[in-house]
Amino acid sequence: MPRSRVVLGFATLVALLVSPTPPEFDASAATPAAGRGVATRSVVYGRHGMVACAQPLAAQAGLEVLKNGGSAVDAAIAMNACLGLMEPTANGVGGDLFAIVWDPGTKKLHGLNACGRSPLNLRAEQIPPDSDGTIPLYSPYAWSVPGCVDGWAELHGRFGKLPLARDLAPAIQFADEGFPVSPVIASDWARSVTRFKDKPGFATLFMPGGRTPAEGEIFRNPALAGTLRLIARQGRDAYYKGSIAKEFVRYSSEVGGYFTLEDFSRHHSEWVDPVSTDYRGFTVWELPPPGQGIAALQLLNLVENFDLRGMGRGSADFWHVFTEAKKVAFADRARYYADPDFAKVPVAELLSKDYAKRRAQRIDMKLAAQTDLPGEPAALNRPETTYLCTADASGMMVSLIQSNYTGFGSGYCIPSLGFGIQDRGNLFDLAPGKPNSYAPGKRPFHTIIPAFMSKDGEPVMTFGLMGGDMQPQGHAQVVVNLVDFGMNLQEAGDAIRFHHTGSSEPTGTVMRDGGELHIEDGLPEPVLAELKRRGHVMKSEAVGQYGGYQAIWRDARTGVYAGATERRKDGCAIGY
């Protein structure tokens, strides 16, 4: 897979990992530690605003909105709309959305859960299980009502400064006139053909001329431009009560789906209070279930019981304890995380420091755990999501994540509307009587999670790292890189990551044989050998499986923003 602008050499990566322990991170400092020359690019700075996302043209659209007087939320909507066009391999108006917004006026964090619910007319007994007992992934059985557009409306109604039509204008223009496809996205698009080419509407919409667009080739989507124009003129009701909803239901009936107009008219997003934990002087924020955000907080609570800085990133102990802590946190994720409207989720208890201390005692420093007590199929190891963040001159900061779940979602596409339908419902458990068991009108367990960090009640960082079950693992690794190892904002995302797969899952799959540990290239062979000796099953993995990071840091003394972006993606951070 081609990657953009990766200039960090292998020798430099190894030097980072085996170098002496860096100076202790100063929690009172306004910015992360100064760079030590190991980042793939410089941190980006801006005084009046900052944007960061996985596609440069989308980032430019967000920046122009800021320059024209828009808020950080206006910029985020503009970027998300562009990404739905430019990165359909990850997101779009057929998917769900979550966001965290720092409002400088009230000095509060606001969380938005904009995920959809299962069809009211579909019962569990009507769903034919896949061979692994789960809901068939690339099928209408996995559909849930897309929440993205309602999420835009909620965010815009509360924090927008420009008309919604202005926010959507760049995406509409790009969809009409076309844009050159960027390298990583082109590669992901091409790999999707085998999986999706025979799904209704996919080839018509995403394989013009019988193939996917190549890197640098112009792609147009006039049907999506028409959909966005309707939303710009009529707002969210065009999608949930008007002509878009009617076309959605018509298509659903045509291809064997279960959507009705009632599913769309009843849909609504939910404003929620973010939840947090303190980590070595900082407060890290996530959204509560049905998302998996609290797994990142549980993971941080667990590793806080160990001297990670003393171990050093070049040691087997560091990678071992982080991996084992992930297994412990994901065991709780499998047992408890679900739609709180249908199940009691003990969030406060799960985030208790005392609970973390007790759970940390389960970690054996000499051996890798092979099983866990409760009940990650491959379906959860998905890199196909987009994350973006924005900040404006007023101090407003936005953390937003949006996804179709599995790349182009279910692969079922509506050519007349210009987008495909998500398959997030695959994450329900078909077994009855569990917190995440399937039910009509229920929100499934969700993987996409935005994050935020503050200190002493003031905003510090808006950040995220997309990629299925990689997300809580990645969030915790970024925080540890910043706080324990004193990396700067870009280094914290560039440093090599681990991705453990095979933990127990909310879909009912139970961990067997310890799962698999994937670590990016750069660790010395003796360290890898020691991890294998402790019982870790080491496997290689494509670079895209390690997630996609974006972050914006605010200097509390000057108000200056620092931005960083993912070396494994096409994107960029831009400030002004």
Question: pLDDT tens, 364-373?
Answer: 999 998 876 4
Residue 573's pLDDT is what?
97
Rounded to the nearest 10 degrees, the angle between the axes of helix 293-303 and helix 353-360 is 70
Percent pLDDT > 90 in the chain is 80
Residue 511's pLDDT is what?
60
Residue 27's pLDDT is what?
37
Per-residue buried b or exposed e for 443-482, using 16+ beta carbons within 10 Å of the residue's own CB: bbbbbbbbbbbbbeeebbbbbbbbbbbbbbbbbbbbbbbb
Question: pLDDT tens, 50-77?
Answer: 999 999 999 999 999 999 999 999 999 9
Q: Which residue has the tokens 């562009």?
A: 82
Using the predicted structure, report yes or no on whether residue 497 has a pLDDT greater than 80.
yes
Residue 505's pLDDT is what?
61
End-to-end Cα, the chain, rounded Å:
32
d(CA 304, CA 511): 24
Using the predicted structure, report yes or no on whether residue 467 has a pLDDT greater than 70.
yes
> Per 3-state DSSP, what percentage of the chain is helix, strand, and coil (rounded to 5)?
35, 15, 45
> What is the four-CA torsion angle of 521, 525, 531, 537, rounded to 10 degrees?
60
Question: pLDDT tens, 212-253?
Answer: 999 999 999 999 999 999 999 999 999 999 999 999 999 999
In a domain, 312, yes or no: yes
Using the predicted structure, report yes or no on whether residue 459 has a pLDDT greater than 60.
yes
pLDDT band at 176 (very low <50, low <70, confident <90, very high): very high
CATH number, domain containing residue 344: 3.60.20.40
The residue that leads in pLDDT, 187 or 21, is 187
Which residue among the candidates 31, 385, 390, 462 is catalytic per the annotation? 385
In a domain, 405, yes or no: no
Rounded to the nearest 10 degrees, the angle between the axes of helix 164-177 and helix 222-234 is 170
Using the predicted structure, report yes or no on whether residue 10 has a pLDDT greater than 70.
no
Per-residue buried b or exposed e for 384-399, using 16+ beta carbons within 10 Å of the residue's own CB: bbbbbbbbbbebbbbb
pLDDT band at 449 (very low <50, low <70, confident <90, very high): very high
pLDDT band at 34 (very low <50, low <70, confident <90, very high): very low
Phi and psi torsions of 508, nearest 5°: 110, -10
Residue 544's pLDDT is what?
66
Q: Count each helix (H run) and each strand (E run) in the chain, helices first.
A: 20, 20
CB of 399 closer than 8 Å to CB of 462: yes
Residue 369's pLDDT is what?
87
Q: DSSP letter for 50, please.
A: E
d(CA 124, CA 107): 44
Using the predicted structure, report yes or no on whether residue 377 has a pLDDT greater than 90.
no
Residues whose CB is less than 8 angstroms from the CB of residue 346 and which lie 6 or more positions away in sequence, other chains included: 336
Percent pLDDT > 70 in the chain is 89
Q: How many CA atoms lie within 13 A of 97 on its CB side?
A: 32
In a domain, 569, yes or no: yes
Tokens linked to 244: 């878009």
Sign of the Cα pseudo-torsion (274, 275, 279, 283, in order): positive
Beta bridge partners of 573: 52
Please tell me the pTM assigned to this model: 0.91
In a domain, 110, yes or no: no
Owning domain of residue 534: 272-380+447-575
d(CA 84, CA 419): 8
Question: pLDDT tens, 542-556?
Answer: 766 888 999 999 999
Residue 17's pLDDT is what?
38
Residue 225's pLDDT is what?
98
385 is catalytic: yes
Beta bridge partners of 390: 51, 398
d(CA 146, CA 444): 12
d(CA 390, CA 154): 17
d(CA 41, CA 3): 14
Mean pLDDT of the chain: 89
d(CA 383, CA 470): 8
Question: pLDDT tens, 469-480?
Answer: 899 999 999 999
Query: Which residue type does 163 have?
Result: P
- Short-list 489, 521, 357, CA closest to 30: 489
What's the gap between Cα 358 and its chain centre? 29
In a domain, 143, yes or no: no
Residues whose CB is less than 8 angstroms from the CB of residue 191 and which lie 6 or more positions away in sequence, other chains included: none
Tokens linked to 21: 């322990």
CB of 274 closer than 8 Å to CB of 102: no
d(CA 257, CA 244): 16
In a domain, 171, yes or no: no
Tokens linked to 263: 């599913």
Using the predicted structure, report yes or no on whether residue 309 has a pLDDT greater than 70.
yes
Per-residue buried b or exposed e for 333-360, using 16+ beta carbons within 10 Å of the residue's own CB: bbbbbbbbeebebebeebbbeebbeebb
d(CA 58, CA 534): 45
Residue 430's pLDDT is what?
94
Question: pLDDT tens, 255-291?
Answer: 999 999 999 999 999 999 999 999 999 999 999 998 8
In a domain, 231, yes or no: no
Residue 156's pLDDT is what?
98
The bridge status of strand 386-391 relative to strand 397-403 is: antiparallel
d(CA 385, CA 22): 33
HEC profile for 278-326?
EECCEEEEECCCCECHHHHHHHHHHHCCCCHHHHCCCCHHHHHHHHHHH
Structurally, the chain folds into a number of domains equal to 1
In a domain, 284, yes or no: yes
Residue 506's pLDDT is what?
62
d(CA 529, CA 523): 10
